[in-house]
Amino acid sequence: MSRVINFSAGPAVLPEEVLRQAAEEMLDWHGSGMCVMEMSHRGPEFIAIAERAEAALRELMGIPAGYQVLFLQGGATLQFAMVPMNLLAGKAAADYVDTGEWSRKAIKEAQKFCRVNIAASSADASYTYMPEQSQWQLDPDAAYVHVCSNETIGGVELHWVPETGPVPLVVDMSSHILSRPIDVGRYDLIYAGAQKNIGPAGLTIVIVREALLGRAATGTPSMLDYKVHADAQSMSNTPPTYAVYVAGLVFEWLERQGGLAAMERHNVAKANLLYDLLDASAFYRSPVRKSDRSRMNVPFTLADPALDEAFLKGAKERGMVQLKGHRSVGGMRASIYNAMPLEGVQRLVGYMREFEARHG
Ligand SMILES: *Cc1c(COP(=O)(O)O)cnc(C)c1O
């Protein structure tokens, strides 16, 4: 067996320890004689698994009382619709900050439900920065403010918490949730697809202030109503049981690593290794403004795009895969989520130096 160093943006690398544990428990989970995939979601075994996963997530993130944690399906993309369906509450407009591909998708979907006020945009510089709060033109009558706090494709990260006064703050944290401690109490709704920094695809996590529940527009299908899921402990229908189980193992792994403060140190160290090389080099370039660079997704370009293929081929020969940048941006992108070990980034940086020496 040999495992690659996987820089995929998602579905992405998982901690090897977690995969081994899942493999060990595959045929017989804790003496139950069943695989988790074979269990009734209403049985005591799975209920215990789901409760433990939620408790671990609450502990890790310090989720205060007054917030519901929902384990949903449909990806972060479904949240682009569920957010307006549940939070407009009769209002005509919502504020969106436009910082890249994912916020654009959220905006497009919201426009089906309401008037979208683009409170700020970095489209003027090809989405390479995060507009400062002083540039945001918030509408005090907006139903909510929506921000994507880590643009997975552009590699732009929000490193501060926006102030939206009494208007609820909704954040798509899909690609950097759990990468650092956050003060959950400063947000009203946080959502994230699991397949970037949590676990397997198929699970979407929503952390929502209870006061925002029960406001879904008339005619909202039950499965798209947060309150229906909250009232049923996310078991209104069959949840993605195996994905919830693996996510729970990842939460426990994070606790063993020392929690989110330790993860932040680990992630800063990894990101600095890469950005220091990019900044010191005339051959590689990071397109993103320094203050807004993502610790999770690091896009970069080579001086000559004609060398891209050779770069990727050499990386593959050295066991490093999924470095090709998103088709909308080009160049390269290294996604270095929680589960990417420091040695993985060291190997990449070593290869980048070697490649530059040969071609630079
Ligand atoms: C991947 C991603 C999405 C879409 O997630 P799906 O689970 O595929 O729907 C949305 N927002 C961000 C920031 C992402 O990285």
Give the model confidence (pLDDT) of 309-328 as tens digits.
999 999 999 999 999 999 88
Final residue of a structural domain among 199, 225, 256? 256
Same domain, 207 and 341: no
What is the greatest pairwise CA distance in the chain?
63
- CA atoms within 13 Å, Cβ hemisphere of 316: 8
Residue 288: which pLDDT band, with cuts at 50, 70 and 90? very high
* pLDDT over 90 at 81, yes or no: yes
Same domain, 191 and 108: yes
Residue 305: give its domain's CATH number: 3.90.1150.10
Same domain, 233 and 307: no
Residues 253-269 have pLDDT tens digits of 999 999 999 999 999 99
Take atom 5 of ligand 1 and give the residue whose Cα is closest: 76
Q: 197 C-alpha to center of ligand 1: Å?
A: 11
Alpha helices, H only, the chain = 16-24, 44-61, 75-87, 101-110, 226-231, 241-257, 259-280, 308-317, 342-359
Take atom 12 of ligand 1 and give the residue whose Cα is closest: 174
Respond yes or no: is residue 196 known to be catalytic.
yes
In this prediction the pTM is 0.98
Final residue of a structural domain among 213, 235, 256? 256
Same domain, 161 and 200: yes
Same domain, 173 and 321: no
Alpha helices, H only, 150-240 = 226-231
Among the listed residues 95, 98, 102, 292, the single catalytic one is 102
Amino acid identity for residue 212 in this structure: L
* Inside any domain, residue 348: yes
* pLDDT over 90 at 250, yes or no: yes
Among the listed residues 95, 98, 188, 196, the single catalytic one is 196
Give the total number of structural domains in the chain: 2
- Within the chain, how many helices (H) and strands (E) appear? 9, 14
Q: Which domain does 29 fall in, by range? A: 17-256
Q: 29 C-alpha to center of ligand 1: Å?
A: 31
* Inside any domain, residue 221: yes
Q: What does the DSSP 8-state code read for residue 193?
A: E
Residue 184: give its domain's CATH number: 3.40.640.10
Same domain, 157 and 134: yes
Same domain, 118 and 57: yes
Respond yes or no: is residue 108 known to be catalytic.
no
Task: Answer yes or no: is the C-beta of 10 below 6 A from any ligand 1 atom.
Answer: yes
* Inside any domain, residue 133: yes
Q: What does the DSSP 8-state code read for residue 138?
A: -
Q: What is the mean pLDDT of residues 198-225?
A: 97
Q: What does the DSSP 8-state code read for residue 324?
A: B
Take atom 3 of ligand 1 and give the residue whose Cα is closest: 76
Final residue of a structural domain among 256, 282, 300? 256
* Inside any domain, residue 351: yes
Task: Answer yes or no: is the C-beta of 193 below 6 A from any ligand 1 atom.
Answer: yes
Q: What does the DSSP 8-state code read for residue 73?
A: -
* pLDDT over 90 at 155, yes or no: yes
Which 3 state secondary structure label does DSSP give 63?
coil
Q: Which residues contact 230 (CB under 8 A, 6 or more apart)?
A: 68, 70, 208, 210, 213
Residues 101-152 have pLDDT tens digits of 999 999 999 999 999 999 999 999 999 999 999 999 999 999 999 999 999 9
Take atom 10 of ligand 1 and give the residue whose Cα is closest: 76
Same domain, 161 and 203: yes
Same domain, 166 and 275: no
Same domain, 189 and 337: no
Residues 18-68 have pLDDT tens digits of 999 999 999 999 999 999 999 999 999 999 999 999 999 999 999 999 999
Respond yes or no: is residue 172 known to be catalytic.
yes
* Inside any domain, residue 2: no
Same domain, 129 and 141: yes
* Inside any domain, residue 6: no
58 to each of 45, 61, 203, 241, how far by Cα in Å? 20, 5, 17, 19
* Inside any domain, residue 97: yes
Structure-block tokens of residue 17? 């320890």
Structure-block tokens of residue 26? 């595959």
Structure-block tokens of residue 241? 């049981």
Same domain, 214 and 275: no
Q: Which residues contact 123 (CB under 8 A, 6 or more apart)?
A: 98
